Each structure stands twice: as structure tokens, then as C-alpha cells.
Amino acid sequence: MPSVFTPYEVFARWAVERVFGLDPATRLGSSLEFFFYDVPKVLTLLVAVSFVVGTLQTWLQPEAVRRILGGRRLFFGNIAAALIGIFTPFCSCSAVPLFIGFLKGGVPLGVTFSYLISAPMVNEVAVALLWGLFGWKTALTYIGFGVALAIAGGVVIGLLKLEKWVEPFVWEVPAGAGELESMPLRARLREGWRSTREIIGKVWPYIVGGIAAGAFIHGYVPADLVMRWAGPDNPFAVPVAVILGVPLYANIAGVLPITEALAGKGMPLGTVLAFTMAVTALSAPEMIILRNVLRPPLLAVFIGVMTAGIIAVGYLFNFVL
Amino acid sequence: MKIQILGSGCARCNQLRENAEAAARELGLQYEIEKITDFREIARMGALVTPALAVDGKLKLVGKVAGPEEIKPLLEAS
């Protein structure tokens, strides 16, 4: 059936047969076809998604987000924060100033957490990769579960009233307010293009390397090996995937193509989703940075709520849906 | 003038510093560079995301690595 991605299939087939003179049915041929199909497709999608998000985010600069979320109540505030998080990029290096700025700007703690969960988890790199490698339905499912988890996590932290476990200095910093810049549309599009170039420049080696590794698995690793370790019959596959995902921060681009190859050999999709969420939302460097503003009990609650939530998403998807 | 780079010493902050210095040199400005890495200070100055650029304590640019051409008018206006 022809689709938007048909040209990529034709290109991959042409590369394998004509350029390398190989039969796509051989191991090497099928690995190469996998590689030459996925690399251009994923890079194209990443350019498209990054450009759209990069342009939209010019309307949702952190200063604007702070004003939108300031003084919001539980639930509605959390929903707004989680949805806004879809369209805003996030660097763990900014987690602390953002956290302080939001709290000082009157954003409730639970609402701030919904944003802090959603923004890094639902990011353009993860979404573009899931779309390219697993299809748009999986990408949308990921966004849906990510937003739900961000709302739930923030509401739980809000209801527990854990403000006492925020490092006291946070409340004492006299936080200045930034200004909102107004931009013409051309400037916004230019901004979108700039952030696209920045993202591609940073992640393309991971994507190419990850797809190369995935291509190797695709051609050479036997399916029963994957089924035994990560298949639906292993009840611990989800928590193990989550634990493995935590130290892999920023390498989602390199890791997802490998999981695609594993999924092709029988690893269930819920395990893939849980793993992706663990990599993006529970990164070790971000936890270390957040320790600057969160006292250990609050950090532990945050990590505990997220871990439980992500594992629940994985099980829900594998065994219920 | 004092050009201040706000951020925790990440690669993007260093790039922003290089671009800001290039802009200042091309304009022939007298300047000194100050790196602000303490996040309390960053929050106090009103930056929610890093890297950010300030001139003499006033925030000019937040959350992006602007090129020298984009930084020039910001420095000229100060």
C-alpha cells in the first residue's frame, strides 16, 4: 500500500540492490535496507516535528507560561501545565531556575511538577522517533500517556502539600521577572528553524549510530533470544526496562532505534513506551540538579510517583489494552 | 560594559559567550565578560531558562544561543 513513506522504501531497496548489489533477503541485505529506510525517514520527521514545535514554542516562552500558570488551581492548572509541556522544549540545565521562577511567580508546587514532568518527557526528539520507527499511533499514545502521567504526578504532589520539603532558600530568593518579547511571524519561523538546526546538529550521530545498531539486530539477532528476555512472558521486562532507562539520558535518539529492532522481534509496545518514558523523564542528571531545590523526601516522592506511574503505563499497555 | 552569560557552564553557554564576544569585538566595544553560574543569581535576575545573556545586570536574551549578528543590536542598545 503506497503511503507518504513509500519513496523511502523505494530508496532503501534501490540502495541495497543497485548500490551494494545485495539481495534484501540476505542478512546483510536486510540490515542495510533497514538502515537506509530508517535514517532518512527519521531525520525527515525530526526536521518536521522540530520545526513545528520550535515555531510554536515562540508563543510559549517560559515567561509566558509562568504568567498562564500563575495562581492556577489544582487539576485545571495541572492539565494546562501538562498540555503546555508538549510544546515547550526543556533542558535539565534550566530545571532549577525554572522551578524557582515558577514558584516565585505564584505557580503552585503541584502544577510546577506537572510542567516539569511533561516538558522533558513529551519532547520533539522522542515523538519524531516514535512516529518514524513505530508509527503515528504509537507517538500519539506516548503523548497521551505522558500528559496523563504529568497531570497525575503533579496532582499527587499537590495534594500531599509537600511545600515544606522545598529547600527553604527557594522562597527567599527575590526572583526578578523577565519581559515578554513580541515577534513578527517571520522571526518566529526563523526561531523554529534555528532550534531545528540545533536539535539535528546535536542528535544526528545518535540516530545514525542507533539505527546502525538496530539494523544489526534486525539482520543478525535471533527473535527467540529477544522473546526470552523481553517478550510478553517475562513479567519483569517492564520494570527492568524502566531501571535500564534512567541512566541513558539524552541518548533517546540512539536507544529508540534499538528498541524498534527488538520490538520487531517480539518485545511488546508497552515495554517500549515505559522504557522511553524512563529515559526522558527520570534522567539521573536531572534528579541531581533538582536536588538543589528539593529536599530528599520530596525528591524521593517525585521519583517514586514517576517510577510507579511509568511501570503502570507499561503494564496497562501490555496486558490490558 | 559588562556582558554577563547566565548558565551552568554547559556547551550552549560557552557558544553563547563566544558569539557575544565576537559581536562585541566587531563593534569595537570595551567589555568584560562575567559568567554567572549560581542558579540563585540566575533566578534573581529573572531568567527562567539558560543560557541567557545580560548586559550590566539587565536581561537581554533568554534560552537561546543567538548568533553574533543577533547580539550586536542588543549590545548597541545598551
Q: Is residue A60 less than 8 Å (CB to CB) from chain B?
A: no
CB of A60 within 8 A of CB of A257? no
Quick one: pLDDT band at residue A250, thresholds 50, 70, 90? low
Nearest CA in chain B to A94: B49
pLDDT tens digits along A96-107: 888 998 998 899
pLDDT greater than 90 at residue B38: no
Q: How far apart are CA A65 and CA A180, in angstroms?
A: 11
The lowest-confidence range among A58-62, A203-207, A252-256, B50-54 is A252-256
Nearest CA in chain B to A57: B63
| Residue type present at position B59 | L
Which pTM does this prediction carry?
A: 0.88
**Residue % of chain A over a pLDDT of 90:** 50
Q: Is residue A167 part of a domain?
A: yes
CA angle A24, A25, A28 (to 5 degrees): 65
Q: Which pLDDT score is estimated for A321?
A: 64
To the nearest whole Å, the CA of B16 is away from the closest chain A CA by 13
| Cα torsion A62, A65, A71, A74: sign | negative
Quick one: pLDDT band at residue A1, thresholds 50, 70, 90? low
CA angle A297, A300, A306 (to 5 degrees): 145
Instruction: Note down the domain range covering A42.
Output: 6-173+185-320
- In angstroms, how far is CA B12 from the centroid of its own chain? 11
Query: What does the pLDDT average to over A242-263?
Result: 80
Q: Please tell me which residue, A175 or A109, carries the higher pLDDT value.
A: A109
Q: How far apart are CA A166 and CA A193, in angstroms?
A: 37
Q: How many helices (H) and strands (E) does chain B have?
A: 3, 4
Place of cell 490490558: A320
Residues of B in contact with A96 (CB under 8 A): 39, 42-43
Query: What does the pLDDT average to over A231-235?
Result: 81
Q: Is residue A44 part of a domain?
A: yes
With 0-12 CB in 10 A as exposed, 13-18 as middle and 19+ as buried, what is A155? buried
Q: Which pLDDT score is estimated for B17?
A: 92
Q: How far apart are CA B54 and CA A93, in angstroms?
A: 18
pLDDT greater than 70 at residue A89: yes
Q: Report whether the peptide linkage leading into residue B51 is cis, meaning its omega lies within 30 degrees of zero.
A: yes
The alpha helices in chain A, defined as continuous H runs, are 6-14, 27-56, 62-69, 76-87, 95-104, 109-121, 124-134, 136-159, 169-172, 185-220, 223-230, 237-245, 252-264, 269-281, 284-290, 296-315
Q: Is residue A1 part of a domain?
A: no
Cβ neighbours, 10 Å, residue B76 = 10
Average pLDDT, chain A: 89
pLDDT tens digits along A168-186: 888 887 766 667 777 889 9
pLDDT tens digits along A10-21: 999 999 998 888
Q: Is B33 helix (H, G, I), strand (E, B) or coil?
A: strand
pLDDT greater than 80 at residue A315: yes
B13 is annotated as an active-site residue = yes
Q: Is residue A179 part of a domain?
A: no
Number of domains chain A contains: 1
Task: Answer whether B49 sits within 8 Å of A104, measured CB to CB.
Answer: no
Quick one: pLDDT band at residue A136, thresholds 50, 70, 90? very high
Q: What residues 34-53 of chain A have any CB closer than 8 A to a CB of chain B?
A: none
CB of A81 within 8 A of CB of A154? yes
- Among candidates A105, A63, A96, which has minimal Cα distance to A285? A96
Q: What is the dihedral of CA B36, B37, B38, B43, to 10 degrees?
A: 70
Q: Is A154 helix (H, G, I), strand (E, B) or coil?
A: helix
Instruction: Please state the domain extents for chain B.
Output: 2-76
Q: What residues 175-214 of chain A have any CB closer than 8 A to a CB of chain B?
A: 175-179, 191, 194-195, 198
Q: From the candidates A55, A93, A249, which should be mutated to test the interface with B, based on the most B CB atoms within 10 A?
A: A93
List the single residue in B40, B44, B48 with the smallest CB-CB distance to A63: B48
Q: Is A183 helix (H, G, I), strand (E, B) or coil?
A: coil
Q: Is residue A180 part of a domain?
A: no
Residues of A in contact with B7 (CB under 8 A): 93
Q: Which pLDDT score is estimated for A4?
A: 82
Q: Please tell me which residue, A310 or B44, carries the higher pLDDT value.
A: A310
Enumerate residues 6+ apart whose C-beta is below 8 A from A124: A46, A49, A50, A53, A54, A89, A199
Query: What does the pLDDT average to over A307-316?
Result: 94
ipTM score: 0.82
Q: How far apart are CA A33 and CA A21, in angstroms?
A: 12
CA distances from A244 to A110, A247, A252 (A): 27, 7, 12
pLDDT tens digits along A293-304: 999 999 999 999
To the nearest whole Å, the CA of A11 is away from the closest chain B CA by 36
Quick one: pLDDT band at residue A85, thresholds 50, 70, 90? very high
To the nearest whole Å, the CA of A202 is away from the closest chain B CA by 11
pLDDT greater than 90 at residue A228: no
Q: What residues 15-74 of chain B have any CB closer than 8 A to a CB of chain A?
A: 39-40, 42-50, 59, 62-65
Nearest CA in chain B to A99: B48
Q: Which pLDDT score is estimated for A234?
A: 83
Q: Which pLDDT score is estimated for A303?
A: 94
Q: Which pLDDT score is estimated for A173?
A: 78
Of chain A, the end-to-end C-alpha distance in Å amounts to 27
Domain B2-76 -> CATH class: alpha beta
Query: What does the pLDDT average to over A123-140?
Result: 92
The lowest-confidence range among A34-43, A151-160, A225-234 is A225-234
Q: Which pLDDT score is estimated for A227?
A: 79
**Residue % of chain A over a pLDDT of 70:** 97
B10 is annotated as an active-site residue = yes
Burial A94-118 (b: 16+ CB within 10 A, else e): bbbbbbbbbbbbebbbbbbbbbbbb
